[in-house]
Structure 1
């Protein structure tokens, strides 16, 4: 019996789930419901004749067959995108400067860039990894075209999603037991710093700023060495640090709204238009 054809939609669903890490996260990327996405994966596995993903309660894992298939799937999707570009107009080219804080880069930027590069391989992207407090003035001055930022006011850019803030500490040092509480914070003006210190003030918890830096790496070093606890976005919590909660004597924290902002100077750039649309398509979701 001849092997069943591998439909492009099934391959697209497979790649989206692998990149997003779950059916729930992948569904909006391919504009499908979670159940429809699951059905496409089942059809793919039926056609292949073997499982391509092991579905655990908290994560997905590629099987050896899935690992082998993934490279082929990516190449097929890339060739398909190139064919569409060739048939429907000249390939997009140009340059885009994109700003993103370190803590958002790995989690949220990777799927955006991967998807964009598949569609627009001729666009050169320059990444500027700095905190929101540095990126926003650069947007205003037209030094960068787009930026993902922690939204500091309601009319800033286009909202994408909310990111929880969390207290973190090194379990072997238990810095959260000290009085006053040693805190590592971002630079003055940082929204994360503002929320962290306001929460401690509201709790009337004595604290001292033991470390002050705009660098995520510096924050992590301060926490891992036992110098302090810190407030980070949940997406960048590394495996070796402990998530601290009210049972550790620390106050609840709000979430921050992440938005994409665009400079006025980039108006009329097709490359910036395309990347802006890709950011919205990939990252914008409810609540």
Structure 2
């Protein structure tokens, strides 16, 4: 017996993604040029096709159901591929300005290299790149000061995330560093609010170990140099370890650190052709991480 396929209409998915981003039927109607009742009918039609309730409305609050969260990541990807296909078929030029956020607290060199290659291939696109704390970048995206951002967050899935993955930071010190267990552990860290700093302190406090911050800086390169100069230990991802460092493990007396969550965030309704091309390039490059928990999400 031939299997019956269910086709998700892109116009309904576009409405659904826009509602998820804006959390308002009225604003969605304005953006998509439809009335509020029409938006409501489109969501109901998508729920009928999907066979699940996707949106939960409590008073003026619009939230996604677990099924809605599951669909959202796939919906973003379907729309991205649809819009890229249309742009290529129409031979659309990659023009405009892209405002991109890069986190100072995660593999910034890796993403800079991706963006540099994109810029070389698309010289007509102007790039406005902001490097800052992840929490500040997400706030900027929320108020439309950025078009897209890479960011670290404690919880996933999160609003406007397209893809995300997890990594477990490791303790790192200078190769020949000797740590005195009778003295407070010297920590090299970003300022308060950094997820790496929080994980180090939580792990040490859970074991009742004394510590003090010996070096503090916003930039990861400054932390790397401080560690290489023997000023203390820090938490890094394996991609940001430097030659001359060694990893400290539980056998060295260092507890395992909890994972960090990293994502690519953007509002699909505001994406230009150029932005969609860069998102596609970042998505392809991230797949080379080969991490065990790479996930598509809403």
Aligned-residue offset at 1:280: 2.4
Aligned equivalent of 1:74: none
Q: How does 1:263-278 map to 2 (within 5 A)?
A: 267-278=270-281
Question: For residues 250 and 150 of structure 1, do their structure 2 counterparts lie closer, same or farther at Cα, with a shift above 3 Å needed?
Answer: same
Aligned-partner SS, 1:197:
helix
Under a length normalisation based on structure 2, what TM-score does the superposition of the two structures give?
0.59
Aligned residues: 201
CA distance in 1, matches of 2:252, 2:204: 13
Aligned-residue offset at 1:166: 0.9
CA distance in 2, matches of 1:215, 1:277: 28
CA contact (8 A) 2:102 2:111 kept: no
- Listed as ranges, the gaps of 5+ residues in structure 1 are 1-84
Aligned-partner SS, 2:99:
strand
Q: How does 1:234-253 map to 2 (within 5 A)?
A: 234-253=238-257
CA distance in 1, matches of 2:120, 2:213: 45
Question: For residues 261 and 195 of structure 1, do their structure 2 counterparts lie closer, same or farther at Cα, with a shift above 3 Å needed?
Answer: same
Aligned-partner SS, 2:169:
strand
- Listed as ranges, the gaps of 5+ residues in structure 2 are 1-86, 294-298
Question: For residues 176 and 185 of structure 1, do their structure 2 counterparts lie closer, same or farther at Cα, with a shift above 3 Å needed?
Answer: farther
| Residue 193 of structure 1 pairs with residue 180 of structure 2 | no
Aligned equivalent of 2:139: 137
Aligned-partner SS, 1:174:
coil
CA contact (8 A) 1:176 1:229 kept: no
Aligned equivalent of 1:70: none
2:232 counterpart (228, 238, 261): 228
CA contact (8 A) 2:92 2:273 kept: no
Cα RMSD (Å): 2.7
| Residue 283 of structure 1 pairs with residue 286 of structure 2 | yes
Aligned-residue offset at 1:169: 0.7
Aligned equivalent of 1:110: 113
| Residue 122 of structure 1 pairs with residue 124 of structure 2 | yes
Aligned-residue offset at 1:194: 1.4
2:188 counterpart (168, 172, 184): 184
Higher RCO (CA-CA < 8 Å; seq separation 6+): 2
Question: For residues 244 and 142 of structure 1, do their structure 2 counterparts lie closer, same or farther at Cα, with a shift above 3 Å needed?
Answer: same
Aligned-residue offset at 1:243: 1.5
Aligned-residue offset at 1:148: 0.8
Q: How does 1:91-106 map to 2 (within 5 A)?
A: 91-102=93-104, 103-106=106-109
Question: For residues 256 and 152 of structure 1, do their structure 2 counterparts lie closer, same or farther at Cα, with a shift above 3 Å needed?
Answer: same
Aligned equivalent of 2:153: 151
Aligned-partner SS, 2:191:
coil
Aligned-residue offset at 1:161: 2.2
Aligned-residue offset at 1:109: 4.2
CA contact (8 A) 1:112 1:282 kept: no
Aligned-partner SS, 2:168:
strand
Aligned-residue offset at 1:86: 9.0
Deviation string 1:36-76 (CA, Å, 9 cap, x unpaired) is xxxxxxxxxxxxxxxxxxxxxxxxxxxxxxxxxxxxxxxxx
